[in-house]
């Protein structure tokens, strides 16, 4: 059965679509494309149906990533294993997204929710929910902030995909 990864930020137009594109590329590189699906959502609904932010798209394109995106909102029902948008692994971009995802889930669902950067080997040992694992929101920033976000996501994605076979076998 397919292993489902959902990346989550606030608006689903900057960080989580970028994370989705980078993880999908690394999953393809690892030869896992037929066993893993990656998608994204926001904890808020302001950008439902919209394309990703032009700065996120430009940063991805310049680094060789593809993305076809329509904004979605993560709602509590997605934590139900029978829901079509249920994810085996739900990756929060920052500590605020993490807290929102945990608040809307019953305790048995919590083990699926982690922070994206908890998979960066250089940050091992920092607990989920700790702001030191935040991917900073680039929405009010400039192009360099998007480039910095991409570098963080690339480090975390490499660590994540190295751990994927183990995660998939423990599901």
Contact assessment for residue 19 and residue 138, using Cβ atoms and an 8 Å cutoff = no
11 binds ligand 4NP per the rule CB under 6 A: yes
Which of 46, 61, 80, 99 lies at the binding interface for ligand 4NP (CB under 6 A)? 46
15: annotated active-site residue: yes
Stretch touching ligand 4NP by CB under 6 A, among 5-13, 27-35, 125-133, 153-161: 5-13
**Number of residues in contact with ligand 4NP under rule CB under 6 A:** 11
Residue 128 or 167: the one with the smaller Cβ distance to ligand 4NP is 128
24: annotated active-site residue: no
13 binds ligand 4NP per the rule CB under 6 A: yes
Q: How far lies 91's CA from each of 16, 26, 55, 62, 77, in Å?
A: 9, 16, 22, 24, 17
Q: How far lies 17's CA from each of 73, 80, 107, 110, 119, in Å?
A: 12, 22, 27, 22, 17
Catalytically annotated residues: 9, 15, 137
């Amino acid at each position: 059965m397919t292993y489902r990864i959902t990346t989550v930020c606030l608006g689903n137009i900057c960080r989580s679509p970028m994370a989705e594109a980078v993880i999908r590329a690394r999953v393809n590189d690892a030869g896992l494309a037929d066993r893993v699906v990656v998608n994204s959502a926001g904890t808020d609904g302001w950008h439902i149906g919209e394309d990703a932010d032009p700065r996120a798209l430009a940063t991805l394109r310049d680094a060789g990533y593809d993305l076809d995106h329509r904004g979605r909102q993560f709602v509590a029902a997605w934590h139900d294993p029978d829901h079509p948008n249920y994810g085996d692994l739900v990756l929060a971009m920052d500590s605020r997204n993490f807290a929102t995802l945990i608040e809307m889930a019953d305790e048995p669902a919590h083990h699926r929710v982690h922070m994206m950067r908890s998979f960066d080997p250089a940050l091992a040992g920092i607990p989920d929910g700790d702001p030191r694992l935040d991917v900073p929101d680039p929405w009010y920033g400039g192009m360099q902030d998007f480039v910095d976000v991409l570098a963080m996501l690339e480090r975390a994605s490499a660590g994540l995909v190295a751990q994927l076979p183990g995660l998939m076998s423990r599901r």
